[in-house]
């Protein structure tokens, strides 16, 4: 029989220590200002590089849209990966911080997906002559956007936070399994209907004067995601603490009312 009163023997690993909401609040609070400053600096450098870069010989000035578009598209996929990993963590270990992470990442990921779609269609108008073409990539990103909307809508439809988190986690994992299938089928569909060369020539391999601002922007966007994600997670943890305090307060009132009634009777 294990000695359950001896808590010294139960030693959490470094990950569980980090995943403790209180530790997370303390560490993320310290790191956030530095990350925010780094994000701003990288954006300043990346945007300067993006505007100073020479216009592309084929795409002209519209190539600058790429500096926003490509990092947004990367983050659209990265956010879903983070949601899927957090959801698996929540379903397996029931760790509340994993649910907080999944919940906080969904609207951010949806926003980056929308930015990628909008900048893509703005780029498409001069390049392809239409704001929207049913290119394989556009179509699969559009479906990804609908998956994000579904996740957010399902969570909003359930009042009880624990249940909402688990339902959203199940849906996120169904989506994660299906995303590669959707991507593959959309590629198949597009090549079946029209050869890819008509729609888009990938153009020459990217020139270094365009490549370095793109990489800087990619890092800046990733840091922006981390900052927004941490901020949203902190807000969510605080919201849950408020809810817990309110619940305790209400229960306390009810208990007090109960004892008063008992005393009066």
For another protein, which residue of 26, 163, 239, 248 counts as binding (CB under 8 A)? 163
Picking from 192, 188, 149, the residue whose alpha carbon sits closest to that of residue 172 is 149
CB of 137 to another protein, least distance (A): 14
Q: At residue 60, what are phi and psi to the nearest 5 degrees?
A: 65, -145
12-20, 23-31, 110-118, 184-192 -> range binding another protein (CB under 8 A):
184-192
Number of residues located near another protein, criterion CB under 8 A: 29
91 binds another protein (CB under 8 A): yes
Q: Which residues does 227 contact at the CB level (< 8 Å), separation at least 6? A: 32, 35, 36, 39
CB of 140 to another protein, least distance (A): 9
Residue with Cβ nearer another protein (37 or 177): 177
Long-range contacts of 183-191 (CB under 8 A, 24+ apart): 183/140, 186/136, 186/139, 186/140, 186/143, 187/136, 187/140, 189/136, 189/139, 190/134, 190/135, 190/136, 190/139, 191/136
Tokens of 34: 């530095």
Contact 216/45 with Cβ under 8 angstroms?
Answer: yes
- Within residues 185-214, the interface with another protein by CB under 8 A covers 185-186, 188-189, 192-193
Residue with Cβ nearer another protein (40 or 143): 143
Beta bridge partners of 56: 60
17-25, 162-170, 196-204, 214-222 -> range binding another protein (CB under 8 A):
162-170
Element (H, E) at 249: helix 208-264
For another protein, which residue of 16, 58, 81, 178 counts as binding (CB under 8 A)? 178
Residue 182, judged by CB atoms within 10 A of its CB (0-12, 13-18, 19+), counts as middle
38 binds another protein (CB under 8 A): no
158 binds another protein (CB under 8 A): yes
Residue with Cβ nearer another protein (112 or 145): 145
Q: Which residues does 135 contact at the CB level (< 8 Å), separation at least 6? A: 190, 199, 200
CB of 167 to another protein, least distance (A): 6
CB of 153 to another protein, least distance (A): 6
CB of 97 to another protein, least distance (A): 20
For another protein, which residue of 137, 166, 231, 240 counts as binding (CB under 8 A)? 166
Interaction site with another protein (CB under 8 A): 91, 143, 146-147, 149-150, 153-154, 157-158, 163, 166-167, 170-171, 173-175, 177-178, 181-182, 184-186, 188-189, 192-193
């Amino acid at each position: 029989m294990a000695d359950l009163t001896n808590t010294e023997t139960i030693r959490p690993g470094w990950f569980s220590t980090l995943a403790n909401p209180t530790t997370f609040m303390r560490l993320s609070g310290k790191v956030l200002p530095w990350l925010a400053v780094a994000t701003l600096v990288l954006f300043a450098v990346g945007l300067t590089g993006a505007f100073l870069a020479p216009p592309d010989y084929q795409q002209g000035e519209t190539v600058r849209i790429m500096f926003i578009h490509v990092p947004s598209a990367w983050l659209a996929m990265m956010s879903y990966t983070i949601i899927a990993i957090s959801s698996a963590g929540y379903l397996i270990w029931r760790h509340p911080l994993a649910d907080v992470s999944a919940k906080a990442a969904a609207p951010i990921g949806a926003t980056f997906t929308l930015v990628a779609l909008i900048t893509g269609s703005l780029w498409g108008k001069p390049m392809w002559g239409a704001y929207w073409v049913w290119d394989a990539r556009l179509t699969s990103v559009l479906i990804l956007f609908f998956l994000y909307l579904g996740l957010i809508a399902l969570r909003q439809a359930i009042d009880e936070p624990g249940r909402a988190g688990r339902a959203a986690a199940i849906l996120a994992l169904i989506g994660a399994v299906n995303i590669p299938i959707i991507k593959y089928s959309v590629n198949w569909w597009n090549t079946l209907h029209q050869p890819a060369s008509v729609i888009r020539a990938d153009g020459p391999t990217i020139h270094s004067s365009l490549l370095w601002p793109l990489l800087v922007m990619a890092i800046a966007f990733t840091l922006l995601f981390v900052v927004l994600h941490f901020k949203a997670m902190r807000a969510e943890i605080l919201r849950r603490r408020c809810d817990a305090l309110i619940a305790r307060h209400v229960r306390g009132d009810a208990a007090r009312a109960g004892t008063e009634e008992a005393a009066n009777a």
